[in-house]
Every structure is written in C-alpha cells, then in structure tokens.
C-alpha cells in the first residue's frame, strides 16, 4: 500500500470496538487532481505531497456523467511519480470492469456509486480479491438508506456535496444530514469506515462537514486553484483539526 494514508479500518476487518469521539477520528486531506494543471500534473502533485494524506482521482466515462477525465495511462504515470495513496472515485456505469486495470495502474481504493450498483456486494468482493480497498458513493439526491445496509463492506463512504462530473460547484449543505447519519451508524455499529466529503470544500464548508462527522476532505479548486496550494492545504487542515 502507498505511504501517507491508511484506511481507518483495514481491509478484511469489518468490525472493531471503535466508538470514539470525533476528535479521535483522524483528519485526512485529499486534493483532487481534477482541478490541477494537467500540463504539469506530476509537479502539481509533488508540490503538495508532503502536506496531504491521499490523492483523489475522479475517473469519468462520459456516460454516468457527461465528462471524460483520466484513464489508466495517466494514473500509472502518476503512480511512478508519487507514493501517495490513490483514492479512485469511479463515476462510471460499469465500474467492476475497471478494477483490475486500476489495480495494475496503481490504485489503492475504488469507490463506486450506489446509484450504479444498488447491491454492491459482488463489487466489494471483486475489489477485495484484487487487493483493493473498497468504498461507496452517494449523490446529493440519494438518501443515506441506500448505502446503510452495506456500510460493513466499506473502507470509506464518500458523500457528494455537489452533483458529480464537474469541478468548481457550490457546496450543497443539505447533504450534511447524511454525513451525520453515516457517522452515527459507523460509531454505533463499531465500524471504522472513513467518511469523506467531496464538492465545494473550503475551510468554511469543511468545518460544517467535520462537525457533522466527516474526516476525509476532498478539495480541488480550493487547493490547486490557489496561488499557494500548500498554504491552502494548511488552511483547510487548520479549519478542521482539533474539532470535537
């Protein structure tokens, strides 16, 4: 596994006695390369690598969402340039078909949309068999009840706070109730899945998400759109570190 990140729950260990307060759940910052300068992608990643915990990679197929983004050659090239943990968010209609090539390219975690696989049991098993960590994604309009029965399968739950497919959108605050429900389930059931928020994340919205129970913060424009990405990471971490 790449350095710099460890899932809060190791693969294969679905339960733990964890039921700690929020201040015991580690904060993790995940810059999204969708907002980086593609002409200098390795340099952009290297600039922030020592200051972040993992790298968020949005894989789009032009079907589940209108845009196309990164294929295996880009991910493999980045893997040769960094040992950051690769969190691959699959905005695609056939995610299982990508698991094996993603693993070969250097992915560590795959997250798939519950809207694509309402029963993700087979997808989770396929990911595990390949040595990948596994997670689920909820769009803003999808209720938490869609993923609740499958939280034991997850190393990470990603709650989208924008509609998927485009960067630079405004944070949708109504999704915070789903973050709260996820945190309550994780702690009440003794699970150790990370809870990630993605979309419109700034120091101000990150504080809201942290208060609701998120511990992994995806930020693209707020980091790579800043004149000083490292300072932007530091501001984001300072906004959420130490909150209870």
Across 195-233, b (16+ Cβ under 10 Å) vs e yields: bbbbbbbbbebbebbbebbbbbbbbbbbbbebeebeebb
> pTM score, two decimals?
0.90
Which of 109, 106, 84 has its CA nearest to residue 95?
109
> Residue 109 forms beta bridges with which residues?
87, 133
Which pLDDT belongs to residue 171?
95
Which pLDDT belongs to residue 13?
32
Which pLDDT belongs to residue 24?
77
Query: Does position 25 have pLDDT exceeding 90, yes or no?
Result: no
Catalytic residues: 58, 198
Distance in angstroms (rounded) separating the CA atoms of residues 158 and 58? 12
Digit-coded pLDDT (tens) for 33-84: 999 999 999 999 999 999 999 999 999 999 899 888 999 999 999 999 999 9
Distance in angstroms (rounded) separating the CA atoms of residues 164 and 54? 20
Max mean pLDDT range (12-26, 60-74, 94-108): 94-108
Helix pair 41-48, 72-81: axis angle to 10 deg:
40
What is the rounded average pLDDT of the residues 221-242? Answer: 95
- For 39, the 3-state DSSP assignment is helix
- For 185, the 3-state DSSP assignment is helix
Digit-coded pLDDT (tens) for 130-162: 999 999 999 999 999 999 999 999 999 999 999
- What domains does the chain contain, in order, with CATH numbers? 26-240 (3.20.20.70)
Position 1 confidence tier, pLDDT thresholds 50, 70, 90? very low
Read off φ and ψ for residue 88, nearest 5 degrees.
-100, 110
Neighbour tally for 72: CB within 10 Å: 15
């Amino acid at each position: 596994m790449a350095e710099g990140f460890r899932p809060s729950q190791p693969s294969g260990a679905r339960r733990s006695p964890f039921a700690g307060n929020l201040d015991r759940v580690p904060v993790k910052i995940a810059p999204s390369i969708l907002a980086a300068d593609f002409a200098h992608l390795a340099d952009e990643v290297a600039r922030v690598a020592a200051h972040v915990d993992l790298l968020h990679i949005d894989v789009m197929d032009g079907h589940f969402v209108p845009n196309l983004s990164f294929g295996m050659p880009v991910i493999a090239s980045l893997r040769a340039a960094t040992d950051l943990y690769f969190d691959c968010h699959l905005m695609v209609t056939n995610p299982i078909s990508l698991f094996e090539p993603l693993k070969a390219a250097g992915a560590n975690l795959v997250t798939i949309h519950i809207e694509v696989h309402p029963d993700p049991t087979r997808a989770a098993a396929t990911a595990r068999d390949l040595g990948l960590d596994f997670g689920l994604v909820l769009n803003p309009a999808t209720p938490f009840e869609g993923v609740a029965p499958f939280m034991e399968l997850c190393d990470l739950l990603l709650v989208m706070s924008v509609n998927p497919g485009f960067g630079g959108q405004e944070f949708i605050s109504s999704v915070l109730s789903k973050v709260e429900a996820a945190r309550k389930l994780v702690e009440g059931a003794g699970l150790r899945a990370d809870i990630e928020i993605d979309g419109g994340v700034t120091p101000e919205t990150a504080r809201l998400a942290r208060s609701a129970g998120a511990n992994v913060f995806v930020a693209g424009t707020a980091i790579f759109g800043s004149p000083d990405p490292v300072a932007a990471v530091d501001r984001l971490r300072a906004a959420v570190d130490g909150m209870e």
